[in-house]
Amino acid sequence: MATPTPAPKFEEIDDTRVKRISPLPSPAVVLDELPSSDAVRKNVRRHRMEVDNIVQGADDRLIAIVGPCSIHDVDACREYAQRLVKLAEELKRDLKIVMRVYFEKPRTTVGWKGLINDPRLDGTNDIARGLRIARTFLLEVNELGLAAAVEYLDTITPQYYGDLVSWGAIGARTTESQVHRELASGLSCAIGFKNGTSGDLDIACDACLSAREPHSFLSVTKDGVVAIVHTGGNDKVHVILRGGTDGPNFDAASVERARKAMVARKLSPRIIVDCSHANSRTKENPKKDFKLQTVSCADVGVQVAAGERDVVGIMLESHLNEGSQSLNPGKTDLTALKRGVSVTDGCIAWDQTVACLRALAEDVRKRRELPDKRFKQ
């Protein structure tokens, strides 16, 4: 009689490629450690209301989402925020300036995944530390009086800091993801969906249609308990034009195509133009160049000054100093990194940012002198 084969142990067939699992503090624990003040909550409510009003066309200002491609040096970004809040006050009649505070970075293959994932920039991936740093910095930004914007890349991390965000983006690589559309349907702020990396606009329009609707999906509570989340849908969703492999799409003809595509799907044609990524190039200069953000931003400004009203904002990747520097976690000498220079995509410098935004504010003022063709005069 053959000897029966013993049943495999559970651990021999599950998690066979997992080296270890490190527990995290629950969102509730981190929020208790790093609570928001009454003043911060008041600021966030005000910022969200103003952003929502612009997205819905009830406020004729433009949203300007500006800041580093990614946050890697909190001290340098703190200085950036301190400068930006002064510029936001100067231009507040014409622009709603929101600081880009991106802690998570999508990678085409591999690379540094952002401050939450690897806060020490050395491959140790101390996510518990990263989450606390992220929340602390968002509190500082809001305490200054600035609005904050993030890209929602992970579906759990919003539980740790979503209460401090006034505008969010779903990136080109995740706009087609069902779980990110479900997530957006329950987020408390306006959400922009980027067109696909190819330039496909249908992906972003479909995402808006999906996120407007109620959803039920698996997630975790603030206490870290696995649960089903039931959402009511997000009516503040909109499209972000960021160009693609088929070319840039910041020009008037591209905006018109986007408008028609959204109207055809019974979407309110509310559009933000990302001046970076594939829009940081032109027909004359087809290679991506972060410096060309100033060109695409100026082009949008011309459209606005001529009466364009469905473009409700722009995005700029900007830092204290221009350019970028390489970071290879665990190998780069961190003491050699230049202060205020991006370690991901190249950014325009502070002075260029100021010039772009002041010019854009002037374009908004020029538009106010024109009749609004959406209404009978």
Domains of the chain: 24-325+338-368 (3.20.20.70)
Instruction: Give me the chain's average pLDDT, please.
Output: 94
Apex CA 106: angle with CA 242 and CA 82, to 5°? 75
Q: Is the pLDDT assigned to residue 2 strictly greater than 90?
A: no
pLDDT (tens digit, 9 = 90+) per residue, 257-309? 999 999 999 999 999 999 999 999 887 888 889 999 999 999 999 999 999 99
pLDDT (tens digit, 9 = 90+) per residue, 190-223? 999 999 999 999 999 999 999 999 999 999 999 9
Task: Name every residue whose Cβ is closer than 8 Å to that of residue 172 and which is 6 or more positions away in sequence.
Answer: 194, 195, 196, 197, 242, 244, 277
What would the mean pLDDT of 83-96 be, rounded to a whole number? 98
* CA pair distance 193, 238, nearest whole angstrom: 6
pLDDT (tens digit, 9 = 90+) per residue, 11-27? 678 888 999 999 999 99
Q: What is the pLDDT of residue 41?
A: 98
- What percent of the chain shows pLDDT beyond 90? 88
What would the mean pLDDT of 141-151 be, rounded to a whole number? 98
Q: What is the pLDDT of residue 374?
A: 58
Q: What is the pLDDT of residue 1?
A: 57
How confident is residue 6, by pLDDT bands cut at 50, 70 and 90? low
* CA pair distance 236, 165, nearest whole angstrom: 14
Q: Is the pLDDT assigned to residue 249 strictly greater than 50?
A: yes
Which of 69-83, 101-115, 198-212, 351-365 has the lowest average pLDDT? 101-115
| DSSP one-letter string for 91-132 | TTTTEEEEEE-------SSSS---TTT-TTSSS---HHHHHH
Q: Is the pLDDT assigned to residue 110 strictly greater than 90?
A: no
* CA pair distance 204, 196, nearest whole angstrom: 7
Q: Is the pLDDT assigned to residue 342 strictly greater than 50?
A: yes
